[in-house]
Amino acid sequence: MENGDVPEDANEHCPGTLSESAGKADACEGCPNQQACATAPKGPDPDLVAIAERMATVKHKILVLSGKGGVGKSTFSAQLSFALAALDFQVGLLDIDICGPSIPKMLGLEGQDIHQSNLGWSPVYVESNLGVMSIGFMLPNPDEAVIWRGPRKNGLIKQFLKDVYWGELDVLVVDAPPGTSDEHISIVQCLQATGLDGAIIVTTPQQVSLIDVRKEVSFCKKVGVPVLGVVENMSGLAQPLSDFRFAKITETGEQNDVTEWALQYMRDKAPELLNLIALSEVFDSSGGGAAKMCREMGVPFLGKVPLDPQLCRAAEEGRSCFVDQRCTASAPALKSIIEKLLQNQGLSQMAKENGA
């Protein structure tokens, strides 16, 4: 109804919990919710006004979500931000994974501090056009556990949105925790009125992950957040054959390293093999993987990214996978996904204007 929600145990003709007359109207007499309604704050949340003003200088806002933890969501957020910055966009990366902030490490910013100016909190910058904000910068010890209930988490998210001075941004990437909890509801409520472009959902191919991704898609549909697409990460192991280690297993189960022998044998007998990429299915994708799920749920499928040890190393070292030739298996896949995303989001014209 127009004046807000009506509790299930409310009196007949309840004016609604958000109405100015909530708890005060004649219909409220004797209602078990009368005192709570009368004393609850009315009108728009003043923080939302401040957030809208701060976000007015941000052209595009993209959430990165996952149904489960450990699927590579933060790695994708970091590499997406690196890639957009390399295209000369002004990029911000906001880490709202309050209890598990991994973005500072993945951007090579561990040990950095937040500074404050008369304009607000200043992001920590990787490059002049790539700024980062995370609770990880606020912890006195990186091993410190954040044990907060929902309201305190939501308060910090609001503070990030209204107090961080990003300046003019082309894109704000928001790395969210896995699942559909308080942080997700809070970020959607805060950003929806400011022009939230939508969400990218990251998954792995097996059904145990896709079950939760379906819930993530359902969450987005219920709260009105467009699904920009789903990324299937760790879609099989892909690694140059020359990077593998080889072993012989003894009858007692011990491993004897024969890597040097195997590589030398290939150099002598079949050197062309050393230029091949070896592929292996790590997670069971016999159920059709993310592509099939996207067809069934009517959401875009952005593509697959293989499990690439070199990409894992880039994340550990806090660097972009696009700046050298080491991530031969994963970088082209990520680049293709990001190009597709740019087309979907109308950012391609800005990329052309920037000469990218």
* pLDDT at residue 182 greater than cutoff 70: yes
Phi, psi of 320 (to 5 degrees): -75, 145
288: left (phi over 0), alpha (psi -120 to 50) or beta: left
Q: What is the pLDDT of residue 349?
A: 63
Region 326-349: mean pLDDT is: 86
**CB proximity list for 320: less than 8 A, separation 6 or greater:** 79, 82, 83, 86, 314
Q: Which residue has the tokens 């592509």?
A: 291
Q: What is the value of pTM for the model shown?
A: 0.84
Tell me the average pLDDT across 302-318: 96
- In the DSSP assignment, the letter for residue 10 is P
- Residue 34 pLDDT level (bands cut at 50, 70, 90): confident
Model confidence band, residue 1 (pLDDT cutoffs 50, 70, 90): very low
Mean pLDDT of 326-344: 92
Please work out, in degrees rounded to the nearest 5, the angle formed at the alpha carbon of residue 189 by the alpha carbons of 200 and 347.
40
Measured CA distances, 145 to 60, 114, 136, 148, 316 (Å)? 32, 19, 11, 9, 20
169, two tokens: 């941004």
- Note whether 35 and 21 are within 8 A (CB): no
pLDDT reported for residue 22: 80
Average the pLDDT over each of 2-6, 30-34, 130-134, 316-320 and give the range with the smallest value: 2-6
Asked if pLDDT for residue 6 goes beyond 80, the answer is: no
Count of residues making up the chain: 356
Q: What is the pLDDT of residues 279-307, one digit of tens each?
A: 999 888 888 999 999 999 999 999 999 99
